[in-house]
Amino acid sequence: MTPDDTVIADTRAWLERAVIGLNLCPFAKSVHVKGQVHYAVSHAATPQDLLPDLISELKYLAAMDAKLRDTTLLIAPECLHDFLDFNDFLAEADRALEDLALDGVLQIASLHPRYQFAGTAEDDITNFTNRSPYPTLHLLREDSIDRAVAAFPDPESIFEVNMQTMERLGQEGWAALKVDRTEPPVASSPHDTPKT
């Protein structure tokens, strides 16, 4: 199991170097600089265990003053490693939002280490716009999105610009950002110790 502080450090590095560094989300820098991004690590090993954590974080975000917490990254390092399973879970996540009567107040965006847009090959560099170090649910306030979009001259162009950015960067450029998850150290066995 990866320690929480490592999970958060990896996610913060990805946010700073990729999301903000490549300007993949023009709205991310402002909330990051103001300290309004909350990092929540779930220890859930199954989707069934992740759901109550998601519900709690949705309630916390809705109840908090936006000036203190504008957005939440709910990170699930121990489950939903398969992207199709993760994608299936999103329907449950949206149902939870509706059950809490928060549909239209909050929304959930999805980020995953193996994220794949429909109609793309798995190794297509454009998939990396949504590739985070760990399976992550990004909980956002609708009001904040509306304000950000209103202040941005051409929000429809963001997706297209991101695709061009990734194509220019390429696989090597992405690897150079060093935004993958930190692999836990492998425990050495007594047989690995060289004899003197």
Per residue in 21-36, pLDDT (tens digit) is 999 988 899 999 999 9
User: Does the pLDDT of residue 186 top 90, yes or no?
Assistant: no
Task: Determine the average pLDDT of the residues in 83-111.
Answer: 96
In this structure, are residues 11 and 77 in contact, taking their beta carbons and an 8 Å threshold?
no
pTM of the full structure: 0.91
Task: Determine the average pLDDT of the residues in 151-165.
Answer: 84
Per residue in 4-61, pLDDT (tens digit) is 999 999 999 999 999 999 999 888 999 999 999 999 999 999 999 999 999 999 999 9
pLDDT class of 191 with cuts at 50, 70, 90: low
Residue 173 structure tokens: 């450029």
Percentage of the chain modeled with pLDDT above 70 = 94
Q: What is the pLDDT of residue 196?
A: 44
Q: What is the pLDDT of residue 151?
A: 77
Instruction: Describe the strand order of the beta sheet including 136-141 as a list of residue ranges.
Output: 37-41, 71-75, 136-141, 106-111
Q: What is the pLDDT of residue 54?
A: 98
Percentage of the chain modeled with pLDDT above 90 = 81
Per residue in 138-150, pLDDT (tens digit) is 999 999 888 887 8
Lowest mean pLDDT among 52-56, 121-125, 183-187: 183-187
pLDDT class of 167 with cuts at 50, 70, 90: very high
